[in-house]
Chain A
């Protein structure tokens, strides 16, 4: 079983739409969770960390559900510039190994 699993998409949504991605993880002892954004052929960049209480940054909201072992990312009012691949990342309970999902592709259409 993979450590982290994501729906690869692609998600094609119109501008202004709300879109949600989920990501499941297998290790119940995992402690840190992140969403990264990757543009084509570029390096991943941190979008936001995911905290137990959930957190929001502008149009982006991240949630963690420990009981069901998944994290989610909600993007409201989608912009063309949101088109990218979104990677969920889980830090193993040792603290030093990171596991990446394969990424979910989002295209926002005018």
Chain B
């Protein structure tokens, strides 16, 4: 089954304790992305990756890191989480059509609470 998986699905942590949210896709997609969703603000792009070893900042990259060492995986790293990073996080992937990334497929989301 074609899918994007994220782990963990729920996480409660404390300020400053490093964490990683994993994302994996089995569709051989070149493009992967991370979003956060907050009430009233919608989904905002954190980082995206066009292929292995190629990553770029989205609209809200501060406080986050990513890596793309393998095509299927795109982990999101919070080196020193703060309460304002409490949010619902989605990973997504898509293929490329010509120059443009195509329809995105989303993971089930990770609900993160930073105390």
Q: Which residues of A are at the interface with B, using a C-beta cutoff of 8 A?
A: 31-32, 34, 41-46, 49, 87, 91, 95-103
Shortest distance between the CB of A25 and any CB in chain B (Å): 13
B interface, by DSSP: helix, strand, loop or mixed? strand
Choice from B41, B44, B108 contacting A43 with Cβ under 8 Å: B108
Interface pair B103/A49, CB less than 8 Å apart: yes
Known: A42-B109, A43-B106, A43-B108. A100 touches B43 (CB 8 A): yes
Interface pair A102/B109, CB less than 8 Å apart: no
Interface pair B43/A44, CB less than 8 Å apart: yes
Choice from B41, B48, B88, B108 contacting A96 with Cβ under 8 Å: B48
Alpha-carbon separation in the docked complex, A97 to B101 (Å) = 9
Chain A residues within an 8 Å CB radius of B103? 34, 46, 49
Known: A43-B106, A43-B107, A45-B106. A102 touches B99 (CB 8 A): no
Chain B residues within an 8 Å CB radius of A44? 43, 90, 104, 106
Chain B residues within an 8 Å CB radius of A95? 99-101
Choice from B33, B42, B100, B101 contacting A102 with Cβ under 8 Å: B42
Residue with the greatest number of chain B CB neighbours at <10 A, chosen from A41, A42, A46, A96: A96
Interface pair A102/B56, CB less than 8 Å apart: no
- Given known contacts A97-B58, A100-B43, what 6 new A-B pairs fall within 8 Å (CB)? A43-B106, A87-B42, A96-B56, A96-B101, A99-B45, A102-B42
**Number of residue pairs spanning A and B whose beta carbons lie under 8 angstroms apart:** 52
Alpha-carbon separation in the docked complex, A34 to B101 (Å) = 12
Q: Please give me the residue from chain A that is nearest to B94 by CB atom.
A: A98
Known: A96-B48, A97-B58. A91 touches B100 (CB 8 A): yes
Residue with the greatest number of chain A CB neighbours at <10 A, chosen from B33, B42, B44, B45: B42
Shortest distance between the CB of A101 and any CB in chain B (Å): 6
Q: Please give me the residue from chain A that is nearest to B107 by CB atom.
A: A43
Chain A residues within an 8 Å CB radius of B106? 43-45
